[in-house]
Amino acid sequence: MPRKPVTSLAGGIGPRQRIWDAIRAQGTERTWTTHDIVASTRGNRELSGTADLETVRTYTTCLEAAGIVCMVMQEPGRYGRKHFRLVCDEGVDAPRVRRDGSRVTQGLPQEQMWRTLRMLGGADTNARELAAHASSSVAPVSEVAASDYLRTLETAGYLDCTARGQGTGRGGVQSRYRLRADMNTGPKPPMICRTRVVFDPNLHQVMWAPTVTEEDADHGR
């Protein structure tokens, strides 16, 4: 699943999340068609916009392959509409699945680290501890990734550094960080993009972006 640019998310939630919200609104008893879901996203202002039919069909195919929705009937005729039903409500976040039903693990390490920071309840941690507690069999977290995540979130204003580290390697002491209470913005992790921009999906806004100088622009030509 290709990444969506930050600018497409800044005004609201993404297309798949809008579709998932509309599907969950149907419950597990009612059946629906992809046309129903398109109409639902257009008619509900809380869903932050529309989702086109092709996008709905593609995501429904992914959800069906994963066993999250199932087709219960198809109307007569070659182009008869298919009726689906939600059979496994996985919660508020849209399931990240491919066409073959396999799960997308990209971004999971950041989710797991953010969840761990929130669960610490104000206690501090370092990269080694965060990597150990946030790792899972599906998405292991390296110490290097944890260190980079902590530094970036500190720069973006989410974390306070409670103790600066000294040295590197076996004899070094790692810096320790604590999540600021006023920056515990919600369950979704701040997204650190390839351009180092930090986007918060809980607030739907860019929280930090690196400064671009005139010299940077010259070298980028």
Identify which of 181, 190, 38, 169 has the alpha carbon closest to the alpha carbon of residue 111: 190
Q: Report all structural domains of the chain as residue ranges with CATH numbers, in order of start.
A: 6-86 (1.10.10.10), 108-208 (1.10.10.10)
The amino acid that residue 72 corresponds to is: V
Query: What average pLDDT values come out for the chain (221 residues) when binned by 10 residues?
Result: 44 78 95 95 62 93 97 93 96 90 89 95 95 92 95 96 85 93 92 84 88 48 42
User: What's residue 212's pLDDT?
Assistant: 54
Cα-flanking dihedrals φ and ψ of residue 37, to 5°?
-65, -40
User: What's residue 97's pLDDT?
Assistant: 94
Give dist(CA 150, CA 165) in Å, integer.
Answer: 13
Q: Where are the strands (E) in the chain, listed by range?
A: 69-74, 82-86, 159-163, 176-179, 191-192, 198-200, 205-208
Give dist(CA 116, CA 127) in Å, integer.
Answer: 12
Give dist(CA 149, CA 55) in Å, integer.
Answer: 32
Helices then strands, counting H and E runs in the chain, come out as: 8, 7
**CB of 159 within 8 A of CB of 153?**
yes
